[in-house]
Amino acid sequence: MIKNIMIVGVGGQGSLLASRILGRAALDAGYDVKVSEVHGMSQRGGSVITYVRYGDEPVYSPVICKGEADVILSFEQLEASRWLPNLKIGGAIITSTQQINPMPVITGAAEYPTELISKLKAENVNVLAADAVDIAKKAGSVKASNVALIGLASHVLGFECEALRSAVAACVPEKALEINLSAFDMGVQAAL
């Protein structure tokens, strides 16, 4: 079995670190793993997608296509909705409720759709939404919102909480560890 996790968000939100943590957890569990990142121009506030694939059989492709993602981990509502087509039927979307207006919305050329989370739920999609930025703020730093999001998703990622915690510890710099672990724990709590 291969598990496909997509991390979607806006450039600069910390999706690279989130993918590194999940990759670490999958490696520690002894799986074959591929993580695909995009660097460069799209990181400048654009829509950013990272793929994490792991399994007990060889993982070939580094990318996740339409209808293939078991989990979509989203930093932002619009991005969760944009990438819904990549979700496997029966898969789960874990999203932060944050809204960041893309430039066409800011300039008035487009509108930010309303009630996206209810609309996702109306499509019978398994959605869990919470304010990851708020959780991270309470834990001590908005920068930990990526780790708070992993906490929120811990029940669908296929790893024990302890395994995810040690992956966080392996990927986050020492001085930021305490805040990140508490953001993770608060994320786990918020999902209950």
Partner 1 sequence: MLPNEYRIMKDFMLGNQAVAEGLYEAGVRFISSYPGTPSTEITEFAAKYDEMYAEWAPNEKVALEAALGAAIGGGRSFCAMKHVGLNVAADPLFITAYTGINAGMVIGVADDPGMHSSQNEQDSRHYAIAAKLPMLEPSDSAECLEFARDAYDLSEKFDTPFILRLSTRVSHARSTVEKRDRVEHEIREYVKNPQKYVMMPANAKGRHTVVEKRLADLQEYVENCPFNKIEHGTDNKIGIITAGTCYTYAKECFGNTVSFLKLGMVNPLPEKLIRDFAASVERVIVIEELDGVIEAHCKALGIAVDGKNLLPKEGELSPELIAACVLGKKPDFKALDEKIPVRPPVLCPGCPHRGVFYVLNKLKLYVSGDIGCYTLGAVAPLNAMDTTLCMGASISALHGYNMVRGENDKTVAVIGDSTFMHSGITGLANIVYNGGHSTVLILDNSITGMTGHQDNPFTGVTLKGKPAPNISIEKVCAAVGVNEDHIKIVDPNNIGELEATIKAELATDEPSVIICRRPCALLKQVKRLPSLKIDTAKCKSCRACMKIGCPCISMKDNKAVIDDTMCTGCGLCEQLCRFGAITK
Nearer to partner 1 by Cβ, of 82 and 155: the residue is 82
Per DSSP, helices labelled H in the chain are 15-28, 77-82, 103-106, 116-122, 132-139, 145-152, 161-171, 177-191
In the complex with partner 1, the residue whose CB is nearer, 67 or 189, is: 67
The backbone torsions φ and ψ at residue 178, rounded to the nearest 5 degrees and listed phi first, read -60, -50
Binding site for partner 1 (CB under 8 A): 10-12, 23-24, 27, 32-47, 59-63, 65-68, 78-79, 81-82, 84-87, 89, 100-113, 116, 119-120, 123, 125, 133, 142
Minimum CB distance to partner 1, residue 180 (Å): 18
Phi, psi of 138 (to 5 degrees): -65, -30
Which CB sits closer to partner 1, 48 or 152?
Answer: 48
Min dist CB 192 to partner 1, Å, is 26
Q: Strand 47-55 to strand 32-36: parallel, antiparallel, or no bridges (unpaired)?
A: antiparallel
For residues 142 and 191, which CB has a smaller minimum distance to partner 1 in the complex? 142
What is the SS3 assignment for 114? coil
